[in-house]
Chain A
Amino acid sequence: MNTATAKPRLTTSAMIASIAAEGQRTKPAPFGHALVELARSRPEVLGMTADLGKYTDLHIFGAAFPDRYHQMGMAEQLLMGAAAGLAHEGFMPFATTYAVFASRRAYDFIHQTIAEEDLNVKIACALPGLTSGYGPSHQATEDLALFRAMPNMTVIDPCDAHEIEQVVPAMAAHKGPVYMRLLRGHVPLVLDEYDYTFELGKAKVLRDGADVLIVSSGIMTMRALEVAKELEADKVAAAVLHVPTIKPLDTETILREASRTGRMVVVAENHTVVGGLGEAVAGLLLRSGVTPVFRHIGLPDEFLAAGALPTLHDRYGISTSVMTERIKGWL
């Protein structure tokens, strides 16, 4: 075989099972395992999906509790309406699909059958923000904006496997509808190295620093912690405030941290710059008369490209290296 003429292999990760970097510590299917654990003591918990059980880690629940698992077919509107019906009868359905399908296709069903009646449906959706290389059909870049705008809805964007394990029982403890951004497969394990416990509605300082305050949610908190370490090498002290609950926002903690003088505030989100955590924080600060130097890292208001995730994260400015450089440029 003539290897000399072989073409170089192109970088690709169009549909990868995990957003973990190579060599990163991970935990398999934390959502599925946490839900099984929860269901042992909560007989009202059910699992429902629209032909994405295997792709949202719900198949683990289905294997453990086959008689409490409802495959609703590739029909997201039906999935949400039927989940409302089961909640109406006193059950607590965890309904899973991709974030694009819940937020775009099934929005009215969630709005009218679940949120308007404040029913106890838990919606967990994979591929949030830019975590798929398939292009706009699979990139839920506006899910937080849409669900933030929906009355009664609680919105959670967890960072890693450690947090997801705690979010699942917290979703159940909260009465009412919840939307959770789901990380699936081999999910990075980051927050176990910090003294961190998830509390619904609470933002938490993961590390302190006098020069920059990075306010972030979801996988951007993982990035923010990496950025803070890189900035440290340049003698820049960056604090990281993790805001996993997008709604209701922990206004008290955000205002307290943003009010500390001399710190630039950078909000970093895996979401379009329209209507997500960045604008939520900006609006809060402005309404409260807190006006630090404010910068915003998020996805552009455009249909994003298909391709390999590391390439796309670099291109759209949410990779660790690009974030570090931008923040240094702002200082």
Chain B
Amino acid sequence: MDTTPLGHNVALSERAYRIRRNAVRMGEVQGQGYIGQALDIADVLATAYFHAMRYRPEDPEWEERDRFLLSNGHYAIALYAALIEAGIIPEEELETYGSDGSRLPMSGMAAYTPGMEMSGGSLGLGLSIAVGIGLGLKRKNSTSRVYTLFSDGELDEGSVWEAIMSAAHWKLDNLIGIVDVNNQQADGPSTQVMAFEPLVDKLEAFGWHVQRINGNNLDAVVAAFDTARGDVGPKPRMIVCDTRMGCGVPFLEAREKNHFIRVDAHEWQLALDALDAGRTA
């Protein structure tokens, strides 16, 4: 099993561990969830919320905050896990995940959850909204940024490419796109469902600053966020993150890859145990 070196980002690795743990506990509440995706994106979310982004936990609508758009609404379980760790959502609400009346529905919606900036789920929306937010922030002379997380499967949507072309046209250097390449979408491996490679070449040809990294290597993720937030010219930034479904729980990483990873009732505790075993802090 590949064990990713943690380098100097030990504090972030503890954040990532806690995000993964929150997500597994939510999965256990419902007995299901997009836990494979939550585990693969935890390192990116830890870096976003505990290294890169500006926000106030007590005031999720603070005007000076960086915006974080979750285009792939089914990753809500991962974002809730991060918002809980960030103190925007109380930890006890984790027990309500996906239940009637909860602020944490299975697919992310802006009206339900503090810190959720958009209603995702209909895939391919996020980057278009980000173009508008990027334009709006510039109109207000704001130094805030708009981050948008979306999935490799969303690259199939034509609207994503409309937004990619537009963000470069408007020179939106305040827009940071993060695409999770876990190579898994509803009907199978993303690269087989619709060939999207060579992704970096395509994005660069569209006028973006592009980095491609191992999205489960915290040092690499931190470096990529730092570069994207630095001066790389008047163009939007994309971080292409190659990730491993189920990362951090070896038996889930090894399980047959599916968009919706099956987890048996007794395995949630085993997953927590596995996370504890891998904890480095």
Among B109, B130, B135, find the residue whose CB has the most chain A CB atoms closer than 10 A.
Answer: B135
Contact of A78 among B109, B117, B146, B162 (CB under 8 A): B162
Q: Is the CB of B139 within 8 A of A75?
A: no
Residue of A nearest to B132 (CB): A85
Q: Which one of B20-28, B93-101, B118-126 is at the interface?
A: B118-126
| Given pairs A82-B129, A88-B132, A113-B129, 20 additional interface contacts (CB within 8 A) | A70-B135, A73-B162, A75-B159, A77-B158, A78-B128, A78-B131, A78-B162, A81-B159, A82-B132, A85-B129, A85-B132, A85-B135, A89-B136, A108-B122, A109-B159, A113-B119, A113-B125, A116-B109, A116-B111, A116-B119
Q: Which of A90, A91, A93, A113 is close to B128, meaning CB atoms less than 8 Å apart?
A: A113
Pick from B121, B122, B130 the residue with the most CB of A within 10 Å.
Answer: B122
| Contact among B121, B122, B128 for A82, CB-based, below 8 A | B128
Least CB distance, A53 to chain B, in whole angstroms: 16
Any A CB within 8 A of the CB of B248: no
Q: Which residue of B lies closest to A82 (CB)?
A: B132
What is the bound-complex CA distance between A84 and B135, given in angstroms? 11
Task: Determine if B136 and A86 form an interchain contact, defined as CB atoms under 8 angstroms apart.
Answer: yes
Bound Cα distance A72, B159 (Å): 12
With a CB–CB cut-off of 8 A, which chain A residues contact B121?
Answer: 112
What is the minimal beta-carbon distance from B13 to any residue of chain A, in angstroms? 33
Asked if B165 and A81 make an inter-chain contact with CB atoms under 8 angstroms apart, the answer reads no
In this assembly, does B137 line the interface, its C-beta being within 8 Å of a C-beta of chain A? yes
* Secondary structure dominating the interface of B: helix
Distance in angstroms from B20 CB to nearest chain A CB is: 29
Within the assembled complex, what's the spacing in Å between the Cα atoms of A87 and B135? 11
How near does chain B come to A142, taking the closest CB pair, in angstroms? 21
Known: A73-B169, A75-B162. A90 touches B136 (CB 8 A): yes
Chain B residues positioned under 8 Å from A113 (CB to CB): 118-119, 125, 128-129
Contact B135 A78 (CB under 8 A): no
Q: For residue B158, which residues in chain A have a CB less than 8 angstroms away from its CB? A: 77
Given contacts A73-B165, A75-B166, A113-B118, A81 and B136 within 8 Å (CB-CB): no
Binding site for B on A (CB under 8 A): 70, 72-73, 75, 77-78, 80-91, 93, 108-109, 112-113, 116-117
Q: Which residues of A contact B117 (CB under 8 A)?
A: 88
Please name all residues of chain A whose beta carbon is closer than 8 Å to the beta carbon of B140 when the two chains form the complex. Answer: 89-90
A83 touches B110 (CB 8 A): no
Q: Does residue B203 face the partner (Cβ distance < 8 Å to A)?
A: no
User: Are B132 and A86 in contact, with the CB atoms below 8 A?
Assistant: yes
Given A85-B129, A112-B119, A113-B118, the answer on whether A78 and B163 have CB atoms closer than 8 Å is: yes
Measured CB to CB, the closest approach of chain A to B55, in angstroms, equals: 16
- Among candidates A85, A109, A112, A117, residue contacting B134 with C-beta atoms closer than 8 Å: A85
The 8 A CB mask of B151-166 against A (1 = contact, 0 = none) is: 0000000110011011
Which single residue of chain B is at the shortest CB-CB distance from A106?
A: B159
| Total contacting residues, chain B, CB less than 8 A | 31
Contact B119 A91 (CB under 8 A): no
Q: Contact partner of B125 among A73, A89, A109, CB < 8 A?
A: A109
Which residues of B lie under 8 Å from residue A90 when comparing CB positions? 136, 140
Interface residues of B in 37-66 (CB under 8 A from A): none
Question: How far apart are the CA atoms of A91 and B124 in the complex, in Å?
Answer: 23
Contact of A85 among B124, B133, B159, B162 (CB under 8 A): B133
In angstroms, Cα B124 to Cα A77, docked, is 10
What 6 A-B pairs are tightest by C-beta distance, nearest first?
A85-B132, A81-B128, A89-B136, A82-B132, A78-B162, A85-B133
Residue of B nearest to A84 (CB): B129
Inter-chain CA distance A116–B128, complex, in Å, is: 16
Assess the A85–B166 pair: CB atoms within 8 A.
no
CB-based contact A82/B159 at 8 Å: no
Known pairs A78-B159, A109-B128; A89 contacts B122 (CB<8 A): no
In the assembly, what is the distance between CA of A109 and CA of B127, in Å? 12
Q: Are B122 and A81 in contact (CB under 8 A)?
A: no
- Report Cα–Cα, A152/B166, bound state, in Å: 28
**A295 vs B200: C-alpha distance when bound (angstroms):** 61
A88 partner, pick from B111, B124, B129, beta carbons under 8 A: B129
Could you tell me if B132 and A112 are in contact, using CB atoms closer than 8 angstroms? no
Can you report 5 residue pairs joining A to B where beta carbons are below 8 Å apart? A82-B166, A85-B136, A88-B129, A88-B136, A91-B136
Q: Are B139 and A82 in contact (CB under 8 A)?
A: no
The docked-state distance in angstroms from the alpha carbon of A72 to that of B127 is: 14
Q: Is A81 within 8 A of B125, CB to CB?
A: yes
CB of A81 within 8 A of CB of B129, answer yes
Contact between A117 and B136 (Cβ–Cβ < 8 Å)? no
Contact residues in B for A73 (Cβ distance below 8 Å): 162, 165-166, 169
Chain A residues whose CB sits within 8 angstroms of the CB of B146 once the complex forms: 85
**Contact B119–A117 (Cβ < 8 Å):** yes
Q: How far is the CA of A113 from the CA of B140 in the complex (A)?
A: 21
A89 & B137 in contact (Cβ 8 Å cutoff):
yes
Contact between A85 and B128, CB atoms less than 8 A apart: yes
**Residue from the set A70, A78, A80, A90 with the largest chain B CB neighbour count within 10 Å:** A78
